[in-house]
Structure 1
Amino acid sequence: MSAPERIPPRGVTATELLTRGELTVRGRIREASNVVLLCEAALDGETVSCVYKPVAGERPLWDFPDGDLARREVAAYEVARATGWDLVPPTVLRDGPYGEGMCQLWIDPPESGTDGEQPPELLALLDTEEPGPGWKAVGFAEVGEGRTALLVHADDLRLRRLAVLDAVINNADRKGGHLLPAPGGRLYGIDHGVTFHTENKLRTLLWGWAGEPLTGELTGVLTALHKDLAGGPLAARLGELLTGAEVAATGRRVEALLAAGRHPEPGGDWPAIPWPPV
């Protein structure tokens, strides 16, 4: 389902359901690297599907502290909510059947239209040298038997906003599988556990705007974020989830984006594209 502010008919918000609802585990998503459980959250006669990632099921990483990936996921949602773009499903930190963890609203894919039409593609591999209209080039990828193809993503405002959000939260793992189209033409990004590092670790498939000037809308949102991170409600909320150094680094990233006035470009000391990319 999509992530509306209120779930009819009784007006219970998605966040309230996720925070206070009784969690019932319905299954496990086996493809995930950490423990990811599909659950239902029930409160006051309302029920929603959700994803629950217990801290106890997190695998240690060499470059991130143990046991705090769930908090980073919630912090990413808080920043996304502050932008007003609604790019991350409602996400909370709570106790569950296996202890503290992240709980996020499940997003159903959009249904095909009556004529069988599918939602527009967001990523593609093209057997060309140039991306063509409607696409932004990421780079060339090996596709087997010594052949390469041009990896592209859609020239889509939703993706452009997500690229800016990733730069702010320092997302080290923006894969294609983390992009979820939703009903009503909405788009969500998920899996934000490896974010907010104090060192530059931005790895993403959304490099198509690298070096291009930020639009007025993007600059306006970043300006508001900068103010909110300088002692505003967002800074206080992030302070409950991240270290002081990580909150400060987030503010510096926003300052750097505003000073440059451009989308960031890949650096040379960290792989620019996550592996596997999808």
Structure 2
Amino acid sequence: METGELTIIGRVVSASNATLVCEATGTGDDGETSTVRCVYKPVRGEVPLWDFPDGTLAGREIASYEVSDSLGWNVIPTTILRDGPFGPGMVQRWIDTPDRDGERGRTLDLVDICRPDLVPTGWIPVMQAYDGDGEEVSLIHADDPRLQRMAVLDVLINNADRKGGHALEGMDGYVYGVDHGICLHSQNKLRTVLWGWAGTAIDDAAMSDVVAFVESFTTVVEPRLRGHITDEEIESLLGRARALVANPVMPEPQSSRPIPWPAF
């Protein structure tokens, strides 16, 4: 993925920025050719955002991955900055997902909607709304520790756009988060569908990783973030991590728009 030739095989047409599906092909030391599927988002295809004026969306995606990796959490797929067919951009490992009704053995996604009276055991209702036909529905997400770890990461990186479709259950059993182009702002912009744990304590294992993250920030984490986000945003990240250490509780919604739109 880092050095192989990128061949475009498709495009995610629903994305607001240029999002291309590629195959990276290279030859190993043993002479064998291998191919890795990945997502390529060239910087030149980004739509400027007035509220995220600094740097690039690609840089924020890479910085978010570096935070996840520094924590030792396999939440964000491997993400790098490299040249491609349309110039420099973010390249991220593609995540294959199982068939919802077949291989996974259940009918609901990790984040989904259902009738308010049909919320199943193991899912947490987040809000109630009306669908396009005027029927009442509940936005729900799984009470899953893999998804909860993603929610903690979102607090740290100040994710302004955690949609339901950005949480993927991979074939390998891990839960991955994708699309982190509008994260790590210095001002509070947390918008997420994962509010089900608001006000609850964060588990000790996750907090142990956050403590280590804070302790190694200057020597290990900060150098990995330089050049991708601003110095102010780096300091704000450290401030959010320290705040979680001081009060290891998932925050409550603090804005009039706590959920991204659309939610999926």
Of stretches 100-109 and 143-152 in structure 1, the one that deviates more from structure 2 is 143-152
Please name the residue that 2:194 is paired with. 206
Letter in structure 2 aligned against 1:203: R
Residue 33 of structure 1 is aligned with which of 13, 16, 33?
A: 16
Of stretches 236-245 and 109-118 in structure 1, the one that deviates more from structure 2 is 109-118
Whether 1:254 aligns to 2:237 is no
After superposition, the Cα gap between the structure-2 partners of 1:137 and 1:105, relative to the gap in structure 1 and judged at 3 Å, is: same
CA distance in 2, matches of 1:211, 1:193: 27
Letter in structure 2 aligned against 1:227: E
After superposition, the Cα gap between the structure-2 partners of 1:32 and 1:221, relative to the gap in structure 1 and judged at 3 Å, is: same
- Counterpart mapping for 1:177-216 below 5 A: 177-216=165-204
* 8 Å Cα contact 2:3/2:26 also seen in 1: yes
Equivalent residue pairs, number:
259
After superposition, the Cα gap between the structure-2 partners of 1:160 and 1:112, relative to the gap in structure 1 and judged at 3 Å, is: closer
Please name the residue that 2:43 is paired with. 55
Please name the residue that 1:64 is paired with. 52
* 8 Å Cα contact 1:226/1:255 also seen in 2: yes
Equivalent pairs: percent with the same residue?
46
Please name the residue that 2:263 is paired with. 277
User: What's the CA shift string for 1:18-47, capped at 9, x where partnerless?
Assistant: 221111112221111000111111121121
Q: CA deviation at 1:130?
A: 8.9
Scaled by the length of structure 2, the TM-score of the pair is: 0.91
CA distance in 2, matches of 1:212, 1:204: 16
What SS does structure 1 have at the residue aligned with 2:76?
A: coil
After superposition, the Cα gap between the structure-2 partners of 1:197 and 1:114, relative to the gap in structure 1 and judged at 3 Å, is: closer
* 8 Å Cα contact 2:116/2:128 also seen in 1: no
Q: CA deviation at 1:217?
A: 1.2
Q: CA deviation at 1:146?
A: 4.0
Please name the residue that 2:5 is paired with. 22
After superposition, the Cα gap between the structure-2 partners of 1:114 and 1:57, relative to the gap in structure 1 and judged at 3 Å, is: closer
Please name the residue that 2:124 is paired with. 136
* 8 Å Cα contact 2:95/2:170 also seen in 1: yes
Please name the residue that 1:228 is paired with. 216
What SS does structure 2 have at the residue aligned with 1:30?
A: coil
Please name the residue that 2:225 is paired with. 238
Whether 1:98 aligns to 2:75 is no
Please name the residue that 1:122 is paired with. 110
Residue 137 of structure 2 is aligned with which of 149, 158, 166?
A: 149
CA distance in 1, matches of 2:114, 2:96: 28
After superposition, the Cα gap between the structure-2 partners of 1:40 and 1:135, relative to the gap in structure 1 and judged at 3 Å, is: same
Q: Which runs of 5+ in 1 are unaligned?
A: 1-17
User: What's the CA shift string for 1:206-236, capped at 9, x where partnerless?
Assistant: 000001111111211111111122x121111
Scaled by the length of structure 1, the TM-score of the pair is: 0.87
Please name the residue that 1:4 is paired with. none
